[in-house]
Amino acid sequence: MAPQARLIIDRHFASISDPRSGNATQHELIDILVIAVCAVISGADNWVEIELWGQAQQSWLETFLALPNGIPSHDTIGRVFARLDPAQFRECFLSWVSAISKLSQGQVVAIDGKKLRRSHNRRSGKDAIWMVSAWAAANRLVLGQVKTKGKSNEIKAIPELLRVLELKDCIVTIDAIGCQTKIVTQIAEKQGDYVLSVKDNQGQLHQDLKDLFAGCQEVNYRQVPHGYTRTVNKGHGRIEIRQCWTLSAPEFLEYIRRRESWKNLRTVVKVQAEREVNGKRSRQVRYYISSLENNPKLILNAVRAHWGVENGLHWVLDIAFREDDSRVRKDHAPENFAILRHIAVNLLKQETTTRVGIKAKRFKAACDRNYLLQVLSTG
């Protein structure tokens, strides 16, 4: 069984270029990659812990890895990942993702960014990086990621990420920063649908939607062709009520200035969320544009599914992988280590025989080599 670990990783990472030459190649690149992937799945969160895991498992690793000079030091591992081409590493990641999952029709693909808070380096003036990720809500799978230098730069990163994704018949959701005509066009050209949040960054569009729905509300939607749905969720002393109104009749869409700039725009949406916690009430109203037909239930489900990226990915990276505490900073290392975490998240989530949280699964993988191989076999 043990050689399977190398075969699986080699299958997807054989094409990656070794950034080293000469005496720097005392350890085989595939050995370093296998050790890093296995160690991160098993709970390692930095280069030192990867080295320690490798040393603890050396006799086992020697049964299927060359290890001509033993286990590489943490400095060696760190230098390799600092120099490894992140674009190539991402391509290998995408190869692995496509092998373990196929997106179903109508699947929500949520695009969202996350700051790696400790990846900054004040001495060299380097800001913390952001990773913009695509999250398949139903499969609970990271589909891809792109590094960017800040929240405002997500506008540039999102098209790069969309370019490498297969989006046919999927519903792409993005928060307000991604509500851009070029992004909408790109999604449409890839035969995907979209539900995009609209805020003040699209001031004219936002105001038009507010005015349009306010006018409909004044007549209580009488003689206004519209869709409507309502959901109520209760639990843990909390009540959440969500209402969704949708408009798609051409005579109402005419109120949207420059609507022809938003490719395939078919429906505009108002979502009102009310929450009561311990007797305290709050209300929030959001507006969206969508290429979907007038189906308020489907659209509201997509809106709710978008926030699964926070609980299903970002929260897991912070709690189970301590990503916000990571001090990996040098060159390409922060981005490449983020991809290592995403590989681990995907494999651990796809392994469903053990019904515990990700952190507990990592602990089990560290204790049980057979379980580690089982996790890897999902790839």
Residue 321 lies in a domain: no
Q: Tell me what pLDDT residue 22 has.
A: 85
Tell me: do 136 and 49 sit in the same domain.
no
DSSP, res 313: I
Q: Tell me: do 92 and 107 sit in the same domain.
A: no
Q: Is residue 190 part of a domain?
A: yes
pLDDT band at 378 (very low <50, low <70, confident <90, very high): confident
Q: In what order do the strands lie in the sheet with 280-290?
A: 141-148, 130-136, 108-115, 171-174, 193-198, 280-290, 267-277, 238-247, 227-235
Q: Which tokens is 7 given? A: 């075969």
Q: Is the pLDDT of residue 43 over 70?
A: yes
Question: Do residues 161 and 300 both lie within one domain?
Answer: yes
At 14, the pLDDT band (50, 70, 90 cuts) reads: confident
Tally of domains within the chain: 2
* pLDDT tens digit sequence for 284-331: 999 999 999 999 999 999 999 998 888 889 999 999 998 888 878 788
Q: Is 247 a domain residue?
A: yes
Kindly report the CATH number assigned to the domain that includes residue 127.
Answer: 3.90.350.10
pLDDT of 121 > 70? The answer is no
4 has pLDDT over 80:
no
pLDDT tens-place string over residues 255-292? 999 999 999 999 999 999 998 887 788 999 999 999 99
Residue type (1 letter), 91: E
Nearest CA among 9, 15, 89, 16 for reference residue 339:
89
Residues 341 and 252 in one domain: no
Mean pLDDT value across the chain: 90
Q: What pLDDT does 151 receive?
A: 63
Same domain, 90 and 42: yes
Under DSSP, the state recorded for 103 is: P
pLDDT of residue 28: 94
d(CA 215, CA 225): 13
Arithmetic mean of pLDDT, 155-170: 91
Within a 10 A sphere around the Cβ of 219, how many other Cβ atoms?
Answer: 9
pLDDT score of 99: 78
pLDDT category, 123, cuts 50, 70, 90?
Answer: low
Q: Is residue 325 part of a domain?
A: no
pLDDT at 280: 84
Same domain, 163 and 93: no
Read off the pLDDT of each residue in 208-232 and give the average, rounded to a whole number.
95
- Same domain? 89 vs 114: no
**Same domain as 225, residue 158:** yes
320 domain-assigned: no
Domain extent, residue 135, equals 100-313
In a domain, 318, yes or no: no
Whether 279 is covered by a domain: the verdict is yes
Residue 285 lies in a domain: yes
Mean pLDDT of 16-31: 90
Averaged over 342-370, what is the pLDDT? 94
